[in-house]
Structure 1
Amino acid sequence: MQTALIAVTQYCSIHEIETDFINSLADEGLIAITVVEGDRFISEEQLQDLELYTRWYSEMGINTAGIEVIKHLLDKIRHMQMEIVSLRERLHLYEAF
């Protein structure tokens, strides 16, 4: 199955942001940019994360380094929440005995 691609210039035009912001996100490893025939694209699968990063940048004034830190912390929280659920399930198993 082929993934839909969105042109970086089109995304930036719609969201009224600079292409440098997208380049910075790519440099930080937060998104991946696909180059096709010299044009830069973002996969549709990354769009949800990219829109979140764009809101943080545009509405809250958070730079790409800050976005990277926030993403890392949110990932860590999600991991810990999954671990808590797993531990609760194990606890209920032991409580049943």
Structure 2
Amino acid sequence: MSTENFIPLNTLCTHYKVTLSFFYNLNENGLIDIEEIEHTQYIHQDSLHEIEKIIRMHQDLEVNIEGIDVVLNLLQKIDALKTELQAVRNRLRLYEN
């Protein structure tokens, strides 16, 4: 498997100034997926935006892993509700015209 689209965990730890155990805890709680390729652990680059959001919550707001999980679930529900509301508004416009 190619590591072209993956970022080594050690690089992320250095860049964001977090420990490996932080990423392991995120993985255990299902918040990120860690891939192991040739005895090195990686994160897919598509997960980087979500990881940055998680790290900001943890470092800037001092939210623990469980709290981050709750916040991310609530944000997903808000996005789903926004999408549903937009669909309902679009259907309503059809009946108004």
* TM-score normalized with structure 1 length: 0.93
Partner of 2:74: 73
Structure 2 CA distance for aligned equivalents of residues 67 and 95 of structure 1: 42
Per-residue deviation, 1:44: 0.2
- Structure 1 runs of 4+ off > 6 angstroms? none
Spell out the pairing of 1:15-94 with structure 2 (5 A cutoff): 15-94=16-95
Quick one: percent identity of the two aligned structures? 29
Paired residues, number: 95
Structure 2 CA distance for aligned equivalents of residues 48 and 30 of structure 1: 12
Which deviations, in whole Å up to 9, do the C-alpha atoms of 1:26-85 show, x marking residues without a partner? Answer: 111111000011111000000000011011111111111111000000000000000000
**Any stretches of 5+ residues in structure 1 without a counterpart?**
none
